[in-house]
Structure 1
Amino acid sequence: MTLGEFKGNSNLKRLNEIIRVLTKYEFGYIIEKIKLKDKIPFKHHSYEYESIEELDATLPLRLRHVLQELGTTYIKLGQTLSTRPDLVGDDIADEFSKLQDDNPPVDYEIMQSIVEEELGSSIDELFSSFEKEPLGSASIGQVHKAVLKTGEEVAVKIQKPGVKDLIKNDINIMRFLAARINDYIFPSRNYNLPGIVNEFERSILKEVDYGQEAMNIKRFDYNFKDDETVYVPKVYREYSTSKVITMELIGGKKVSDVINSDEGFDKELIAKRGVESYFKQVLIHGFFHADPHPANIYVLENNIICFLDYGMMGILDQEFRENLAELIIYFVEDSVKGMINQLIYMGIISENIDIKSFKYELTDLMYKYYGIGLNEMHGGMDDLISLMRKYHIQLPSEFVLLARGIGMLEDVGEKLDPNFNPVDAFKPMARTVIRKKVSPLKVVDFVKDNLFEVEHLMKTLPRNLSRTLYKIEEGKITLEVEHKDMERISNKISASLILAALLVGSSLIMQTDKGILILGFPFLGIIGFIVSMVLGLALVLSILKYREL
């Protein structure tokens, strides 16, 4: 989007509002640097801070205030970046984690009209009762308690009006500003702001699609269908759309309340089940809850775990899970060399970094945390991410989501059972993944997964082979050779041919008894072998010199 596209539409007003808020919190110098001061009118302001590189102590706080004041989309952006300390640094990530998503509720009459429009009937026809006061209200939606005609108590989450359009407009402006900052403020290129906006767009558009959340719950429920330690709320699809989702009302207690309670719960068992269920999601299912903070985890009777809010989920393919399992095995076996080799194999780090120094610092970190309880392990994931940032290692988004989830569970687990060691939970799961990878049945799975490709190959192979042979017979095969050191290569070929000719000729001469003889052998044959030996030795040395042997 160019600046001209903002004229004559509501985006221009929103852009002016963003500039006003940035100026209010002393970020006006950014507006000047990206060449917007003279093109968009805003009140003149003298800036206390004059450089984007000026990392004063108030920077994280001022950034948080900017996002909080700009509302829904920017709050969500900050919450997303709070999970990326590898991009924004620990201080900013910690500050962004304080962003509050609580919003005043929308009038009941407005939300009622949305429900009735989406579900195609009146509230009275759909529900036996529907409470006007919401159970909670966030920036995207709010939740009301209701009772179905069949008697089930449900929670109805309703998307607030205009949210999706607001988010799309804000993202367009974000993309515009990110591109200009990337063009005009050189240090910002290290953060790849356009890439961050694109990743955020994919994430938040999934979150505002309640139909996607319903599908996530269905898949999560299928994954845990045989696990009695995890409960998944039921979704009533006939009462759900992209803007309304109706699910079973969950009782029990939030895990944060269980931490402060001494009655009726086995905290050690809850910690164990929580961590085990999470690593089962990651290593076995490849589909995991990406936002397992205490408000999203409930504990039901018999210490059963129940996750809520399935809008943000992480997905890992089989290859990534297998590589991650191998990395975990190296970790539990305290093999720093194996971990580094695995990270290189996974493409997370390159051999261009100072491997020796990185290995030394990773060893120190391993010795600091290995084999200790959660009460002494707090901050371990933050330390690991800080080490990655120090060596400019860009972590994949999957790794960051995992780190965030592990960090949250680390905090909850420490409060539930300080002596619980998560290694005991994920080590057997990692070994299960490895055993499956090296199993002979893996070949069967590979053939099954690639059955159609194999079938297509078998069909086309005879025809393609026949065409190739025909072209060879007709002399129609064309080879394209890149011209690189061609003269050196041709010289070696010429020398090889001369060497071969000398050897053959000398061998034939040695079979005769004509001419001058030395020790019974023809003089010319001996000379030919000597010249061949010198030429062959020179050719071998040349090949070794250019590492082409």
Structure 2
Amino acid sequence: MKFYPEKPDIRRLREIIQVFWKYQFGEFLGKTKFKERLFKPLRLYFRDPEMEVDASAPERLRLAFEELGPTFIKLGQMLSTRPDMVGEEIAEELSKLQDEARPLDYREVKETIEGELKRSISDIFRDFGEDPIASASVGQVHEARLKDGRRVAVKVQRPSIEEKIRKDIIIMKYLAKLVDRNVPRLRYYNLPGIVEEFERSIFKELDYYNEANNIERFRSLFADDDMINAPRVYREYSTSRVLTMEYVEGVKLSDILKSPIKFNGKVIAKRGFECYFKQIFIHGFFHADPHPANIIVQEGGILYFIDFGMVGYIDKDFRDKLIELLISIIDYDVNGIIEEIELMGIISSETDKEALKYDIMDLFERYYGADLQRIGNIMKEFTMPRMLIRHKMEIPRNFVLLVRAISMIESIGERLDPQFNALEIAQEMVQKLIIARLNPLNIFKVDMKKIIQLEHLIGKIPQTFIKGLQVIGEGTIRIELEHKNLDELADRIERSSNRISLALLASALIIGSSMVITAELRIAPGIPYIGSLGFILSFLIGLGLLFSILKGGKYH
């Protein structure tokens, strides 16, 4: 766990507040308790912004994030994957964030590489390009050649970037808690939770070992596919701050979209979607940022994926439910959709399923026809705040990431091929998956963990069986019963039995008295002895029984 001082950097905090004020978020700040809780203690008194920014609130937010630098650019990129938190309009605008920065001086790059690899740069590389081929806020990439002539791309992290990001995260935590306490209408967004999630994400991305692991895992999953690949990683020339990879020649997909010459757009669109289908629904490990600039196309339509800083993971159980959800969407099965999202934990017992059912039917009606060719449209609706709030839904982060990835790859597919139909390709892939599941040979493909569990169970059977025989042989079998409230039930039965007995006795006395009413023995002229005595006793018993019933209650 990383250590953070409690107090934020006041100078940087003032700078952040000033930038938000500049982009006309001062009105919001002034209406909240920030004015008292934040401005006065920090002596933050700002005049109205001198410049007027003619842009919408989402655009102004993007511009503010870009000006504030690496931490806020990365935060914006993360929020662009969470329309469930910030809404579709803001998420869409933040996805346009330009992560570009002034290139580092070559001297700083050289110092970083030599400090990390503990060798002179001339001892590692035959040639090293001093000008970067790409420059971002966290790091930049240089082209080089190893001593044996292999062409490589070297990703170098900016000096002190981790310390700068750490300071900004302290401020983010401080502001998030302040907002959460003082702005009730924003509590729904759980800003402290967003900052914590961002903290985990950004520090993973800063560790280039994680990216190297992701690249190698992707390569192994598609090792048998000649059309899908990722750069080879050179571990001996890589650290947590320097990543040396195979240099991939080809054309970025972003450039092909501008001028689709020499390439078959129809083939690339289908191949890209099939690749993502396999990543999500078969492997459960996917590249979570399929931006066109992160896919390089080589001759023959070979796709190379680069930049594995952001990936998603899905376990097997969740994948199985996803496939069943996809089948329900393809079949227009509303009840099936509701059943699957309940099994996935997206809705709970508090959700009004009838209301949800009608909303999903409205979605199908809205997207009926050409729009339903994009399955991402339907799945994305479940991540929208209006659906989440109305139906008390909780969306797992990786579900949001995969929906975003599917939507992006569908959008790219439509730009490459106007006749692109994701639904048809998904149907073909689902059919193959079902056939593979039903293959009798798959019976023998048992998960290793299950085999170990079965082996433990089999190992315990002989010992358990022998113990059972010994107990039977000794005649010491004992059955223990646990009862609840049987004492109370017994008391009720006993009371009821007593009352029945008294009732029967009273009835018998009445009948007997009636039979002897004509007897000769009399108390007074016209009044028989025994008959009168019987009626008196019956009356007393009946009165006592009535009192007992009234005292004990109707059902006692």
For normalisation by structure 1, the TM-score amounts to 0.78
Match of 1:83 in 2: 81
Match of 2:125 in 1: 127
Q: What SS does the aligned partner of 1:292 have? A: coil
User: Partners of 2:33 and 2:147 in 1: how far apart?
Assistant: 56
Of 12, 30, 33, which residue of structure 1 is paired with 2:10? 12
The two structures, once aligned, show a CA RMSD in angstroms of: 3.7
Q: For the residues of structure 2 that align with 1:195 and 1:312, how far apart are their CA atoms?
A: 19
Distance 2:41 2:65 in 1: 23
Alignment CA distance shift 1:360-1:47 (3 Å) = farther
Alpha-carbon offset, residue 493 of structure 1: 5.5
Deviation (angstroms), 1:276 = 0.1
Does the C-alpha gap of structure 1 residues 222 and 480 become closer, same or farther in structure 2, counting only changes over 3 Å?
farther
Once the 2 structures are TM-superposed, how far is the Cα of residue 265 of structure 1 from its aligned partner? Answer: 1.4
2:45 to 37, 43, 66: 43
The verdict on how the C-alpha distance between 1:165 and 1:432 changes in structure 2, with shifts beyond 3 A counting, is farther
- Secondary structure at 1:35's aligned position in 2? helix
Tell me how far 1:281 sits from its aligned partner. Answer: 0.3
- Tell me, in whole angstroms, the C-alpha distance in 1 between the residues paired with 2:490 and 2:49: 71
The aligned residue for residue 410 of structure 1 is 410
- How far apart in 1 are the matches of 2:6 and 2:130? 39
- Map Cα deviations across residues 71-118 of structure 1 (whole Å, 9 max, x no partner): 111111011111111111122112212221111111110011101111
Look up the match of 2:278: 280
Partner-residue secondary structure (3-state), 1:361: helix
Secondary structure of 1:134 counterpart: coil
| Residue 388 (1) aligns with residue 387 (2) | yes
Deviation, structure 1 residue 57: 8.2
* 1:187 to partner: Cα distance: 1.4
Residues 1:401 and 2:401 aligned together: yes
Quick one: structure 1 residues 127 and 21, their matched pair in 2 at CA, closer, same or farther if it must change by over 3 Å?
same
Indicate the residue corresponding to 2:323 in structure 1. Answer: 325
Cα distance between partner residues in 2 of 1:374 and 1:367: 10
CA distance in 2, matches of 1:65, 1:223: 39
Work out the CA distance in 2 between the residues paired with 1:214 and 1:80: 20
SS in 2 for 1:395: coil
1:330–1:338 Cα contact (<8 Å) kept: yes
Residue 348 of structure 2 aligns with which residue?
350
Kept in 1, the 8 Å contact 2:374–2:422? The answer is: no
**Separation in 2 of the partners of 1:413 and 1:69?**
33
436 and 185 in structure 1: CA distance in 2 versus 1, 3 angstrom threshold? farther
| Equivalence for 1:230 | 228
User: Which stretches in structure 2 are left out of the alignment for 5+ residues?
Assistant: 501-511, 513-554
Report what 1:306 is aligned to.
304
Deviation at 1:180, TM superposition (A): 2.0
* Whole-angstrom distance in 1 between the partners of 2:209 and 2:75: 22
Larger radius of gyration: 2
Relative to the length of structure 2, the TM-score reads: 0.77
Task: Provide the rounded CA distance (Å) in 2 between the counterparts of 1:413 and 1:500.
Answer: 81
Q: Quick one: structure 1 residues 343 and 117, their matched pair in 2 at CA, closer, same or farther if it must change by over 3 Å?
A: same
**Aligned equivalent of 2:29:** 28
Provide the C-alpha distance between the structure 2 equivalents of 1:378 and 1:160, rounded to a whole number of angstroms. Answer: 36
User: Structure 1's 246 and 497: CA in aligned 2 closer, same or farther, altered over 3 A?
Assistant: farther
Q: Distance in 2 between matches of 1:261 and 1:65?
A: 29
* Closer, same or farther: CA 447–237 of 1 in aligned 2, 3 Å: closer
Name the amino acid aligned to 1:326: E
Rounded to whole Å, the distance in 2 between the matches of 1:149 and 1:15 is: 47
Query: How far, CA to CA, are the matches of 1:201 and 1:162 in structure 2?
Result: 17
Q: Distance in 2 between matches of 1:479 and 1:71?
A: 66
- Summarize the alignment of residues 444-459 of structure 1 with structure 2, pairs less than 5 Å apart: 448-453=448-453
Residue pair 2:33, 2:183 contacting (<8 A) in 1 also: no
* Cα distance, 1:393 vs structure 2: 2.6
Contact 1:154 / 1:249 at 8 angstroms: preserved in 2?
yes
Taking the aligned partners of 1:248 and 1:196, their CA distance within structure 2 comes to 35
Aligned 8 A contact 2:373 2:424 in 1: no
Q: What is the CA deviation profile of residues 331-388 of structure 1, one whole-angstrom value per residue up to 9, with x for unaligned ones?
A: 1111011101111121102242332232223123224435637888896665554363
Rounded to whole Å, the distance in 2 between the matches of 1:202 and 1:64 is: 22
Q: Which amino acid aligns with 1:388?
A: M
Percent of paired sites with the same residue: 43
Query: Aligned partners of 1:268 and 1:421: how far apart in 2?
Result: 10
Instruction: Give, as a single letter, the amino acid of the residue that structure 1 aligns with 2:145.
Output: V
Q: Once the 2 structures are TM-superposed, how far is the Cα of residue 317 of structure 1 from its aligned partner?
A: 0.5
- Aligned partners of 2:170, 2:267: CA distance in 1, in Å? 47
Change (3 A) 1:490 1:248: same
> Larger deviation: 276-285 or 341-350?
341-350
- Does the CA-based 8 Å contact 2:233-2:244 persist in structure 1? yes
